[in-house]
Structure formats: C-alpha cells, structure tokens
Structure 1
C-alpha cells in the first residue's frame, strides 16, 4: 500500500473536506501523514492519520461584517511564510526516511509541498475545497481573475511573494521558474465540488476530478447527533457565519430578534469559543458554539451563511437553499455564483438589517423554483462520488492512470 502526505492550511474549510477521504484511504490500507497546524492534530489523528505538527503564524480574521482583499492577502502571506520558513524544513526532516508516494496540498500550502516534490521526485495533487482554477478561469491572480485585488492587498501579496522567492532561491528555483512553480493548479487536481457549480466547468479536462464533497455515509446519524424539533410543522432555519470570524454576538443577537416569533425553529452555530449562553434566546432558537452542519441540513429549509466553501458545498449536497451574507472577496464571488444558478440569494453587509434578512429568508423559503434547483444540484453532488471516488482517483494517479 502507498504512503500519502497531506499539506493543508489551518482552516476548517480546508481540513474538513480531507477527513473522510483520509478515513477511506486508511480503510483501504494506505498510510496518510498530515503536516498540519497543531490545532487540527486531534481531528486528523481520529481519522487514522499520522501527524507532523507546527504552530502557524497566521493571523485571525477580524470580527467585522465585511473583510476586504488586504485581510485575505495578509492571511495568504502568512500561509506562504509558514510554508517557506517552518513547514518545509519540518516536513523534509520528518519525512526524509519515509518519503510519500504522493503529496496532496491546497493552494495555500503549495510552497512546501511543491518544493518537496521537486527534491524527491514525488508526484503531487492539488486539492480545491471549492472553486478550482485552470487556464480559462481563476479566482485570483492575473488581469482576468474573477476577484481583483486593490493596492493594499497587493502589498500583502508582495510580502508573501518575497518569502516565497527567498525559499525558492535557497532551494535552486530561480525567478524565471516561478510562473510554473507558483501556478494556480497542478497536473493532477482533486476538486471537492461538482462540475456544474464550477465556473467554466466545461473547460476543465482530465487533469481535474470533480468528486464533490466528501462526507461520511452516516453523517448526522450518531446517537448524540442533533435532533429536529418534535413538531412536523416547524420550519428549521440554520445560521452560521463560519468558524473563522466568530466575534459576531451583535449579528446573532439581531438575527434572533428578527425571528422572535415561532414561525421558524432557528439553529445558530456561533463559532468555536463563542458563548451561546450570553445571547439569552427564546425557546425556539438554539445556539451552539459548534455543530456539524450535516446533522441539521437535511432538516433545514434555509441556511443563512457567510458563503464559505465548507458551508456552500455542504448545503448544496443536502439541497438546502442559501441566504448568503458575504464577508470576503471569495465569499462575495460564491454568493454571486449561487444567485446566478438560482440556488440562493444575497444580502450584502451594507444592506444587512434584521428586517432585510428576515424578508430574504421568508422569500427564499417560498421560492419553489429555487427548491427544485437545489434538489437537482444536491442529487448531482451525491452522485459525484465523494470520498470513495476521490480515493479511486488517487489510487489511479499513484499507478499512473488518468482520472475517471
């Protein structure tokens, strides 16, 4: 059996999609090693993987309604600096006597992963938690990118590029090599999304395997799983603004005020470390610091979300329409894409009030066309193959076969 190494940036939307894939690989007899921030060591180890841990220097997203490109560029620069200064020497030492047969990584982790690939002649696979890039479409990078960056963002990208270039030069990669070394995609790419949601999906060739989200077959069926309200007439509304920016007590308090009548049974996930008891909620409104969304989404009529990759792919998989309150350039793009495909609606942060949010939820819940659209996309997601197909594809790539 083979040994696979996984490099992912420290964020639930990046780590989460790989966990069930890891369980599938380990169940087939493969060995998996994560090079991962120590905060995710336990969840990775529970999936059966070995861990090589470090403490990331990355900053946290500020708790505000709208984050601009400079915030995201700063995080990206931190990822690059992590890879160049910490992850590469750590991984090279830890894996030197047990080199992997395949290296998996997401774009924020590419410096160390691709450098080890060059040094050890080990093939790589790029992971896309959601939207992928190819020669015809890119979220970031270049004049035709879907999301453009401003001057302050470019300054932060410059910091990251300087760290990347220093690492590259120290390891024999010249500046002339950088366009290939820092490319936005690989010769082998695993996308945790359906092709139908991917912009310009028809242009992605056999180098890209769209396997959809990787969930456990019994997600949400544990004995201690969340249970829906006993009344069959209750409409369930799930609300989450992500695990990253969780200092949003004012948002959730206003949100709960907007649903103080009992027409909806509201379930809110506030973010790890938040205190649900501090909100003082009505009986028909639940607040949790964290709750796996696959436990709730099969019962939910609407999801209110920031539009992060994990939330979007989970909701699409279970056929749940979304009201997106985007906070970053990436989530604004996701909101635009969902609206284009008739899978949800958007409330921009500058338009956000309790009344506008409640109106958007009620209108979306009554939209039969949207419900039909998300049901169709959910079926496509469930048929994409998930962790089983992803593992099949990886085994094929290890054997030198193209994706199917």
Structure 2
C-alpha cells in the first residue's frame, strides 16, 4: 500500500472533491494524510484519513473572506476579482503552504501527492525538485480546462506576481501563469468528460479526462413532509446558489422563486444552510404555493427527481446535475462560473443567462425553454451516459499503483 498526501485550498468547492478522492483511497487500504484548512479536520477524520493543517498564514476560511478582506466585495466579477483572489488566496498563500507541505513530506515520505487545481504547491514542487527526488504529482481539474499559452493583457500584473513569487521559492516560470497548474504536474485529471469541453488540438499527454466524481452519498437524511410531491407528476425545478455563494440569496434563489410562482411546477429551493429557508421567506414576504424550501439536502437524493437545475454555475454542482442527466439554467459571474456556464450552453445541456444576478422574467423564459424543448433533456441524458463510462477512482488508483 502507498503513502499519499491529498491537498486542497481550504475552500469548500476545492476540498469536497479532494475528500471524495481521499475517502476512496482510504477504502483501498492506502495510508492517506489530508493537508488543508483546520475547519475541515472533522470531515477528514470521518473518512478515516489523518489530518494535517495548513500553516496559520495559509489557513483561510472561505465563509469569512468578505469580512476579512472587505475590499474584495467591492470588486466587480471578472479580471479584477480574479487577480485579487489569485494574489491573495492562491499564489499569495503559496510560500506558507509550500513550507508546510515540505515539512509534512519530511515526516511522511509520500509516494504520491494529489491536489486540486488551486493548490499551487504542486506546480511549485514540480518546478523546484528533480523528478526522482519527489513524489508523483497528480492534479485534479475542478474547474473548466483553461489551458492556454499566452497571457491576456488584462492579467499582466497577475503574471508578474506569479513569476516573482515562484522566483522567491527557487522556481522559474515560463508561459502563462494560470496555465502553470496544468503544465507542471505529472498527471492532470480533468473531472468531466470530453463532451463537456471545447475540442482542443495538441493537448499534452499528461492531461486527460477521467469523468465526473460520483455524487457524495448524503448519509442519514430525514425526508421532509413534502418529499412525496417530488414524484407527483409536476415538473421539479431545483434552485441553488451552492455552498459558498449563499450569503445573498436574492441573487438567484429568490428571483427564481418569483419567476416560477405562477407556473405549474414544483420549485425546491436548496439553500445550503440551516437559516436559508427563513431568509428566503423573509425576502419573499408572501411564499408561493409551489415552493418547498430546504437547508441541507443531499443532491444524490434530490437531483434524480429534478427536471431542471437552476444554479450559479459551481463546477461540481453542474457535473453532479449532468451525472443524473438533469439539464441546467446557469447564472454565474464570479470565479470560473462564466466559463462553466458557457460550456453548458455550448454542449446543449442548458441555458447560460450570462449574469450572476438575473431578472425574474429572464429566469422564467430560460426555465420554460429548458422544460419545453426536449433537446436539452436529451443532450443531458447523453452526457450522463458518457459520464457513466468513466471511473475517476480507478484512474487515480492506477496512478497510485504505478
């Protein structure tokens, strides 16, 4: 059996897929250490892995980013916010993150280090250590494939920042900085299928598609009293803003509810928080008869009943919807979400609203379009069949075995 370090930037969307992979490796008998933020220690223990915390300077909590970094909330989505996040949370945390990883590897000589795209210690290790002196490096693609050779002019400052940071660590960066995690690793495993990505010529051999991760099993879940309505015949529309962007539920959940209040559909608002349903009710004032609200609800239980998922475009949530063949309406403006939404539209599996705060009228048209045009459901079903032909766990297990 192998010694494996599994690493993640301490943000919910980055940690969840990594823990899913770690749990599978533990189940195969490997000795696994998870290196990430302290808020995830209990979740690591629950899968039977050993926990190693990030150093304090890199131990962030994505629930507190706007309060800890108030300037971030003033930045518009796009290059300005991307540059801030890149410099502050990803490359900005790299010196402390890499130092802690080196200390961990000194006491736990791993055969393999597995991390997600945002964990920049992997390209840093690749650039600063000879292949025979370091573990095998595996990177999980948890955002769309953004591999490119040249830097956009709007990100020139970001490029200089990455080059300077890596140089301070003894590494020399060539090429576009945001492509470094794709280039500088031994295996880059994109967690989707080829049909969800634009065709590309000359993709490096170490980059390959391994399929979407199976949805995390929800475990114990007490079905609410309205659960039988999911099978009562009305189309089911699920709306969510994910697990991170749920602070302001008027961005997507509330306008979706208002958009569909007079439609013959069942709307399920998955608010990803115990206080979420009450916040939605307060924002609405009058709650439509066709609305059912939930805090934490496992998607492996809910999405098999859904006819449409309205989402802000988190990569994992979109892949989970497609795993079940559910078409989408996507409204996302921050991080990688516009790229996710664009691929949904390109693949024919849903509608891209091209905004993070859509109007109720636009949401109504988009949801009706997806419900009324069987082509969206058909293409999502074809995508689900393609996903079923892949096994990302086996792909990772084969790398570990070698």
Q: TM-score, normalised by structure 1?
A: 0.82
Alignment match of 1:327 (pick from 333, 336, 340): 333
Residue of structure 1 aligned with 2:217, choices 216, 219, 222? 219
Distance 1:149 1:268 in 2: 40
Shift, 1:393, TM fit: 2.8
Is the CA contact 1:305–1:322 (under 8 Å) kept in the aligned structure 2? yes
C-alpha separation between the residues in 1 aligned to 2:223 and 2:191?
24
Post-superposition offset of 1:64? 9.0
> Could you tell me how far 1:254 is from its partner in structure 2?
2.8
CA distance in 2, matches of 1:184, 1:350: 27
Task: Report Cα offsets for 1:32-82 as digits up to 9, x if no partner.
Answer: 111101122222222222111132277736679961222122112222122
Aligned residue number for residue 349 of structure 1: 355
The 1:302/1:327 distance shift into structure 2, 3 A limit, reads same
109, 118, 124: which one aligns with 2:129: 118
- Residue 11 of structure 2 is aligned to residue 11 of structure 1: yes
Matches within 5 A, 1:233-248: 233-248=233-248
Q: Which residue of 2 aligns with 1:2?
A: 2
Are the structure 2 counterparts of residues 222 and 359 from structure 1 closer, same or farther at C-alpha, using a change threshold of 3 Å? same
2:387 is equivalent to residue 373 of structure 1: no
Unaligned runs of at least 5 residues, structure 1: 400-404
Q: Which residue of 1 aligns with 2:284?
A: none
Higher relative contact order, chain-length normalized (CA < 8 Å, sep 6+): 1
Q: Classify the secondary structure of the residue corresponding to 1:279.
A: helix
- Whole-Å separation in 2 of the counterparts to 1:253 and 1:178: 39
Change beyond 3 A, Cα 1:104–1:267? same
TM-aligned CA distance change 1:230 to 1:92, over 3 Å: closer
Alignment partner, residue 261 of structure 1: 262
Structure 1 distance, partners of 2:26, 2:365, is 46
Separation in 2 of the partners of 1:188 and 1:4? Answer: 15
- 2:311 matched residue in structure 1: 305
Displacement of 1:274: 5.1
Other-structure match for 1:192: 191
Deviates more, 1:191-200 or 1:49-58: 49-58
Alignment of 1:133-152 (within 5 A): 137-138=147-148, 142-143=150-151, 148=152, 150=154
The secondary structure found in structure 2 opposite 1:189 is: strand
| Aligned match of 2:101 | 91
Paired with 2:113 and 2:40, the residues of 1 have a C-alpha distance of: 19
Task: Give the Cα–Cα distance (whole angstroms) in 2 for the partners of residues 51 and 258 of structure 1.
Answer: 45
- Check whether the contact 1:213–1:314 (CA below 8 A) recurs between aligned residues: yes
Q: Secondary structure of 1:52's partner?
A: strand
Pairwise CA distance, 1:381 = 0.8
**Structure 2 residue 23 is the aligned partner of structure 1 residue 23:** yes
Tell me the distance in 2 between the aligned counterparts of 1:369 and 1:181.
35
Distance in 1 separating the partners of 2:311 and 2:300 = 14
**Number of aligned positions between the proteins:** 379
Whether contact under 8 Å (1:317, 1:381) holds in the other structure is: yes
Counterpart pick for 1:392 among 386, 394, 397:
397
Q: Structure 2-normalised TM-score? A: 0.83
> In the TM superposition, what is the alpha-carbon distance from 1:232 to its structure 2 partner?
1.9
Provide structure 2 residue ranges, at least 5 long, that are not aligned to the other structure. Answer: 67-71, 282-286
